[in-house]
Amino acid sequence: MGYQDAQAQSRVWGSEWESKQPEEQSMLNKEARYIDLVRIKRSKNRMWWVVIVWALTFYIPNFFLSSMGRMKRPDVQMAWREKVALCLIIFLMCGIVLIR
Protein backbone atom coordinates (compact mmCIF):
# COMPACT_ATOMS: atom_id res chain seq x y z
CA MET A 1 0.00 0.00 0.00
CA GLY A 2 2.80 2.41 -0.83
CA TYR A 3 2.64 5.45 -3.04
CA GLN A 4 1.92 4.67 -6.68
CA ASP A 5 2.45 7.33 -9.31
CA ALA A 6 -0.01 7.52 -12.19
CA GLN A 7 1.02 6.31 -15.62
CA ALA A 8 2.28 9.00 -17.97
CA GLN A 9 -0.51 10.23 -20.23
CA SER A 10 1.66 11.65 -22.99
CA ARG A 11 4.78 10.61 -24.84
CA VAL A 12 6.51 13.79 -23.72
CA TRP A 13 6.61 12.71 -20.09
CA GLY A 14 6.63 8.95 -20.63
CA SER A 15 9.64 6.68 -20.72
CA GLU A 16 11.30 6.34 -24.09
CA TRP A 17 12.33 2.77 -23.22
CA GLU A 18 8.70 1.64 -22.86
CA SER A 19 7.89 2.76 -26.41
CA LYS A 20 10.63 0.60 -27.99
CA GLN A 21 9.71 -2.58 -29.78
CA PRO A 22 11.20 -5.85 -28.40
CA GLU A 23 13.49 -6.12 -31.43
CA GLU A 24 14.85 -2.64 -30.79
CA GLN A 25 15.45 -3.44 -27.12
CA SER A 26 17.52 -6.51 -27.97
CA MET A 27 19.48 -4.49 -30.54
CA LEU A 28 20.30 -1.89 -27.91
CA ASN A 29 21.55 -4.55 -25.51
CA LYS A 30 23.73 -6.18 -28.17
CA GLU A 31 25.25 -2.85 -29.18
CA ALA A 32 26.13 -2.08 -25.59
CA ARG A 33 28.20 -5.25 -25.35
CA TYR A 34 30.62 -4.31 -28.12
CA ILE A 35 32.37 -1.19 -26.94
CA ASP A 36 35.80 -0.50 -28.41
CA LEU A 37 38.56 -0.22 -25.84
CA VAL A 38 41.40 2.17 -26.49
CA ARG A 39 44.75 1.57 -24.83
CA ILE A 40 46.47 4.74 -23.66
CA LYS A 41 50.15 4.83 -22.83
CA ARG A 42 50.63 5.33 -19.11
CA SER A 43 52.48 8.42 -18.01
CA LYS A 44 55.03 8.50 -15.20
CA ASN A 45 52.57 10.40 -13.03
CA ARG A 46 49.98 7.66 -13.51
CA MET A 47 52.53 4.97 -12.65
CA TRP A 48 53.48 6.82 -9.46
CA TRP A 49 49.83 7.21 -8.53
CA VAL A 50 49.25 3.47 -9.04
CA VAL A 51 52.24 2.70 -6.80
CA ILE A 52 50.89 5.02 -4.08
CA VAL A 53 47.40 3.52 -4.37
CA TRP A 54 48.72 -0.02 -4.06
CA ALA A 55 50.94 0.99 -1.12
CA LEU A 56 47.91 2.41 0.70
CA THR A 57 45.55 -0.48 -0.11
CA PHE A 58 47.88 -3.50 -0.16
CA TYR A 59 45.96 -5.10 2.73
CA ILE A 60 42.76 -5.42 0.66
CA PRO A 61 43.15 -8.47 -1.62
CA ASN A 62 41.60 -8.67 -5.08
CA PHE A 63 39.59 -11.79 -4.28
CA PHE A 64 37.91 -9.89 -1.43
CA LEU A 65 36.84 -7.13 -3.82
CA SER A 66 35.57 -9.60 -6.41
CA SER A 67 33.70 -11.90 -4.02
CA MET A 68 32.52 -9.66 -1.17
CA GLY A 69 32.47 -6.35 -3.00
CA ARG A 70 31.00 -7.76 -6.23
CA MET A 71 33.61 -5.93 -8.29
CA LYS A 72 34.60 -8.41 -10.98
CA ARG A 73 36.30 -6.05 -13.44
CA PRO A 74 39.88 -4.89 -12.72
CA ASP A 75 39.13 -1.28 -13.70
CA VAL A 76 36.29 -1.13 -11.17
CA GLN A 77 38.56 -2.61 -8.49
CA MET A 78 41.24 -0.03 -9.28
CA ALA A 79 38.70 2.81 -9.13
CA TRP A 80 37.58 1.58 -5.70
CA ARG A 81 41.20 1.38 -4.52
CA GLU A 82 41.81 4.94 -5.75
CA LYS A 83 38.77 6.18 -3.81
CA VAL A 84 39.98 4.48 -0.64
CA ALA A 85 43.48 5.90 -1.16
CA LEU A 86 42.06 9.42 -1.58
CA CYS A 87 40.05 9.03 1.64
CA LEU A 88 43.14 7.79 3.50
CA ILE A 89 45.19 10.75 2.22
CA ILE A 90 42.45 13.17 3.30
CA PHE A 91 42.21 11.58 6.76
CA LEU A 92 46.00 11.70 7.12
CA MET A 93 46.12 15.38 6.19
CA CYS A 94 43.25 16.20 8.57
CA GLY A 95 45.07 14.33 11.34
CA ILE A 96 48.25 16.30 10.69
CA VAL A 97 46.33 19.59 10.84
CA LEU A 98 44.59 18.60 14.08
CA ILE A 99 47.84 17.56 15.77
CA ARG A 100 49.57 20.86 14.96
Q: What is the pLDDT of residue 34?
A: 62
| Phi-psi map region of 12: left, alpha, beta (phi>0 left; psi -120 to 50 alpha) | alpha
Name the percent of the chain lying above pLDDT 90. Answer: 56
pTM exceeding 0.85: no
Residue 42: the pLDDT is 84
pLDDT tens digits, residue range 40-87?
788 999 999 999 999 999 999 999 999 999 999 999 999 999 999 999
- 81 by Cβ neighbours in 10 Å (0-12 / 13-18 / 19+) ranks as buried
